[in-house]
Amino acid sequence: MQILSVDEFTRHAESALADLGPEIQAMMENVVIVVEDRNDEEPDILGLYEGLPLTERDGYGLLDLPDKISIYRLPLCEMATDRDDLISEIRITVIHEIAHHFGIDDDQLHEMGWG
């Protein structure tokens, strides 16, 4: 187990997003990414995408809330065997949840080697 502070964990999540490059980031539409300690309803999940994938939406209206990607710090820290493992798992989780934003489901992610 490797516990990182919220600030350090957030920096690694931001780095994972930056590693996707400006082209991918530019295609992300009306989505916010947050780091939270744990999901109240499912305390062991690593990340969660809440929203309507880009493949299923027509557009946003003036009052539509953004989609939300939550990355859960404590479950990721608890499962990691060491710091390098944790940084890798943060990256995988960020990519996994962003893939859901683009309409890629868990089965497709598994086929691609990300599940």
27 with 104: CB under 8 angstroms? Answer: no
Query: Please, which residues have CB within 8 angstroms of residue 18's CB and are 6 or more apart in sequence?
Result: 25
pTM for this one?
Answer: 0.89
The residues, ordered by sequence, that sit 6+ positions from 88 with a Cβ below 8 Å of its Cβ are: none
pLDDT in tens, 24-55: 888 888 899 999 999 999 999 999 999 989 88
> Could you tell me the two tokens for 106?
């868990």
31, two tokens = 């989505």
For the chain, the structural domain boundaries read 6-111
pLDDT digits (tens, 9 = 90+) for 73-104: 999 999 999 999 999 999 999 999 999 999 98
CATH of domain 6-111: 3.30.2010.20
Q: Residue 11 and residue 5: Cα distance in Å, rounded?
A: 10
